[in-house]
Chain A
Amino acid sequence: MDSALIPEGAKRCPFPVFAAGIAIVGVVVLWGVYAMGLCWLKGLNQTNMNDYYGFALWIWADLAVIAIGGGAFFTGLLRYVFGIDELKNIINLTVVIGFICYSSALLILAIDIGQPLRGWFIFWHANVHSMLTEVAFCLSLYFSVLTIEFIPLILENRQVDKVPFFHNLGHNMHGVMAIFAATGAFLSCFHQGSLGGVAGVMYARPFAYREGLLVWPWTFFLFTWSAAAYGPCFTLTVLKMFEGITKKKLVKDNVVHLLAKISGWMIFTYIIAKIIDTIYWATVTAPSQGFKLMDFYSDNAFYGIWILILEIVICGIVPAIILTKKSFRENSRLLLIAVVLGTLGVCLNRWVMVLQIMAVPVMSFDTWALYFPSWQEIATTVLPVAYGIILIALAYRYLPVFPQEKELNAD
């Protein structure tokens, strides 16, 4: 039915099967859109946000998708600026993932601000003393970069490529992609950092507050570093999911192992910095504000010291060891465990830096403020995931996302 649109030589499931899959995920999208409509029509009283939780589940999801989407800017930087040519075989996947993650982040923000029709205020009436203003600027501009990076892939569709204008446009955009990739890396470094900076400058929240360099708290640098380190883990997680679902090999092992190795060393250096930061915060910064480490991890039903151990040891040190040691990362099962743990690790870090901050009591007479999201918040958080599944499925079916697919599945 749609065979004329499928990349030449590629095998895809029958169209009815594909359409049925899209329809099932589409129901989830509709559920999310309904919840989104409620939030826009009735207001943010549809959520369980309150005076304690001005940031809630959405903002965690926002920070998490931006972090795991960091594979796009980092892999783009490695491929186009540092000239690591092998990565050309996985760069398309990182661009699609990045596009999904950043469009999801903007969608979440459009819901979170409650009145998206006033979204342009942050540009027009910018508060130039706010890290979030920088985040808004860089997010929007980097999404533009990702769109520019995505266009050549769309133009490579079998039918679109037959049109001379589109063929030439795709070719010419590839020619100057290094400029766009470098711009994207610059933007990404700053907004990833500023998202960390937002937490780090909150001197009235001892759990989050960090000292730093000039106007930038250490969390600024840790967020950028962690996005670059763990982003490729999510890319590889998605790749492994694809290979599992399609029962095909899509990218050669040397490419996967190279990206895993780079990610591993980035995680290794990041986790050392994170441990130093945590020790300094626990022994100097927090005590200077009248808090002991265990004040942040006790007397409540959820946040125990387990969350710190899980983030740093299980989802940090373990993937770092697996991915930096050649024999470990070349074992497909260990590789999968490492990249999944890495992805979970960065999401957990964002959870802690968005939600645990809000929960920890600040005043001596205060109590822990645990929160559970409303169904509207859950639905609108699931919405980008469902949308992402649909978009990546369409991209895989109709675009040459994996240049090595044909060669690896010649039989």
Chain B
Amino acid sequence: MFPFSFEWAWDAGHLLFFGGMWYTVAILGAGLTFCLVKTIADTLAGKGSHH
């Protein structure tokens, strides 16, 4: 799963599978982080409070 795991091999299979997995995790993580940061900023700025 990680390059430091004993069974890791730098071959096409590992690069494709885990490259795809970590790439997806990164996209989802970045998207959620953006949402959370923007939400905190919006809330501190008083947005949504008069809703």
Residue of B whose beta carbon sits closest to that of A133: B17
Interfacial chain A residues near B36, Cβ < 8 Å: 169
B35: which of A141, A167, A172, A183 is its contact (CB, 8 Å)?
A172
Residues of B in contact (CB 8 Å), total 30
Tell me what chain B mostly uses at the interface: helix, strand, loop, or mixed: helix
Bound CA span A165–B41, Å: 10
A164 touches B48 (CB 8 A): yes
For chain B, residues 21 to 42, give those with C-beta under 8 angstroms from any C-beta of chain A. Answer: 21, 24-25, 27-28, 31-32, 34-36, 38-40, 42
Interfacial chain A residues near B43, Cβ < 8 Å: 164-165, 168
- Scoring A residues 163 to 192 as 1 if CB is less than 8 Å from chain B, else 0, what string do you get? 011011101110110011001001100000
A128 touches B5 (CB 8 A): no
Interfacial chain A residues near B40, Cβ < 8 Å: 165
B51 touches A161 (CB 8 A): yes
Interfacial chain B residues near A133, Cβ < 8 Å: 17
B17 touches A171 (CB 8 A): no
A168 touches B5 (CB 8 A): no
Residues of A in contact (CB 8 Å), total 30
A129 at the interface (CB under 8 A from B): yes
Interfacial chain A residues near B13, Cβ < 8 Å: 128-129
A118-126, A202-210, A296-304, A310-318: which one contacts chain B? A118-126
Interfacial chain B residues near A168, Cβ < 8 Å: 38-39, 42-43, 47-48
A280 at the interface (CB under 8 A from B): no
A162 at the interface (CB under 8 A from B): yes
A62 at the interface (CB under 8 A from B): no
A47 at the interface (CB under 8 A from B): no
A-B contact pairs, 29 of them (CB 8 A): A124-B5, A125-B7, A126-B18, A128-B14, A128-B18, A134-B17, A137-B20, A137-B21, A141-B21, A141-B28, A148-B28, A161-B51, A164-B43, A164-B47, A164-B48, A165-B40, A165-B43, A167-B51, A168-B48, A169-B36, A169-B39, A171-B42, A172-B34, A176-B35, A179-B31, A180-B31, A183-B24, A186-B24, A187-B24
Give the A-binding residues of B (Cβ under 8 A): 1, 5, 7, 11, 13-14, 16-18, 20-21, 24-25, 27-28, 31-32, 34-36, 38-40, 42-43, 46-49, 51
Give the B-binding residues of A (Cβ under 8 A): 123-126, 128-129, 133-134, 137, 141, 144-145, 148, 161-162, 164-165, 167-169, 171-173, 175-176, 179-180, 183, 186-187
